[in-house]
Every structure is written in C-alpha cells, then in structure tokens.
Amino acid sequence: MQLLGRNLPLVIFLFLSVTGMLAAYWYFSPPEEGVAQAIIMANNERTLSAPIFKNVPSRPVQQRLTQSPGPIRIGLIAGHKGNDSGSVCADGLTEAAVNEIITQKVAEILTEQGVRVEVLDEFDDRLKGFSGTAVVSIHADSCDYINELATGFKIAGSSFTNSSGLLSCVQQAYFAATGMPYHENTITPHMTDYHAFREIAPGTPAIIIETGFLNLDREILTTHADLPARGIADGILCYLGR
C-alpha cells in the first residue's frame, strides 16, 4: 500500500490512458456486421482487404456563391465587308454597302444599351478563336427578280454550338420590327455551313441572317434601314435577357 501510495499519480495516469485508449477503440470500431463482412471478403478473396467506413453527409455541399458570367461581348460581321461586293444591283447598289449600314446601326443601338460590340469584316483575322457572348453575321439576299414570293428574311444557326436561343430571339424580334415573312425554305448550305461558324471559339453561339431580298425588299433595307437594324438589335437584347 505504501508503494501504491508513493506512485499514486503514475497509477492514475496509467488508468486514464488505458481508459482513453479503450474508449477511442470502441468509438472508431466499425459495426459488427461490417467486421463480419470484411472477414467474409478476406476469406473469399484470400486478400487483406476490408471496406472503408466513412460518414457521408446526406446532402452534397453546395457552392455558396454562383459563378458570375464573363463580360458581354457581341461580334457583328458586316457581310462581304473587306472581301467583295456581294450581290450587285443593276444601278450599282451592292449588298456589302447595305450590310455595312445595317450593321453599324445595330452596333450603335447595342452600344447605347451598354453592350460591348465589335464590328468585324467578312474574313476578319479576329474571327479565329473569337470568344464572346454571341456572333451575328448580317447579309442580304439576291438583287435579281425571282418571283413575287422572293421577299422576307431567313436565319441559320451554328451547328457547332447550340444557337437556338439566339436564333429564336432574333427571328421573333426581326419579324416584329419589320413585318417581313420568314423565308425558311430558301436557307442554303452556304448559310448552315457558314465559314465563321467553324472559325470562332467553340461555345460561342452564332447565327447568320439574310435581312431580305435586295429586289422586292430593297426599300426597307435601304430607305428604312433602321427597321431591320432595330429588329436585329432587339433580338440580341432579348438573348441577353434585356
């Protein structure tokens, strides 16, 4: 007893240590069924393997702050600009000139709304890998008289990136602004496989619009160019959620 009394602090320390170790072993030991399963697996596979038991939260951890989208950047291609004249009318009016006027008016409307716009040539070097919110190429159709049905606009979207939202917005807004019919049955492979679709960065929605026929739709495309410009701009703003 004297020996025990002289070493009482050591005895208490050893008792608490053993008790703590047993408590930790009991707390972190897997359920009995888990141990039994591990033994069965080890016997069947003849390997020293056992399942790892880990507490998984019932709900996944969610990001508290949503990732903000990148800055808005719209690319506008003035069809045929810097390359050729496009369609040419008998009196010398060129498609390239009509396209450029409408494109500039679209750019002005968007800029007034605080949207960053880059006006591009037909084969602009900046198109290679162009990464932005959207790309819209503006063209006009033939100046030749075909028949009385050769009037109206048409739009084709990129097949490399889902551009259906952009196409739908511009189609509805353009019709509302101009009243022109949608001429879907004259969309050509030159539109669906438009070169810019293959040059811009993947993930950038893009469309090409033929604003009308330079024959029967000439007046609205020239004298009233504000209307097609407004339709395209409104469609882009619609796509931007404005």
Residue 227 clears pLDDT 90, i.e. is over it:
yes
Which of the two residues, 146 and 209, has the higher pLDDT score? 209
Model pLDDT, residue 66: 47
Residue 130 clears pLDDT 90, i.e. is over it:
yes
Q: What are phi and psi of 16, to 5 degrees?
A: -65, -35
H-assigned helices in the chain? 2-6, 8-28, 32-45, 95-112, 164-178, 189-192, 195-199, 218-222, 226-239
163 CB-side CA count, 13 A: 27
Beta-bridge partners for 117: 74
The residues spanned by each domain of the chain are 2-45, 74-239
Q: What band does 46 get if pLDDT is binned at 50, 70 and 90?
A: low
What global pTM score does this model have?
0.71
Residue 69 clears pLDDT 90, i.e. is over it:
no
Model pLDDT, residue 34: 54
Residue 105 clears pLDDT 70, i.e. is over it:
yes
Model pLDDT, residue 21: 79
Residue 76 clears pLDDT 80, i.e. is over it:
yes
Mean pLDDT of 208-212: 98
Model pLDDT, residue 44: 57
Which of the two residues, 42 and 185, has the higher pLDDT score? 185
Look over the chain and give the mean of its residue pLDDT values, rounded to a whole number.
Answer: 86
Residue 206 clears pLDDT 60, i.e. is over it:
yes
Mean pLDDT of 217-233: 98
> Which architecture does CATH list for 74-239?
3-Layer(aba) Sandwich (3.40)
Mean pLDDT of 169-179: 98
Q: Which DSSP symbol is given to 111?
A: H
- CB burial of 32-47 (b: ≥16 within 10 Å; e: otherwise) equals eeeeeebeeeeeeeee
Question: Measured in whole angstroms, how far is the alpha carbon of residue 124 from the centre of its chain?
Answer: 22
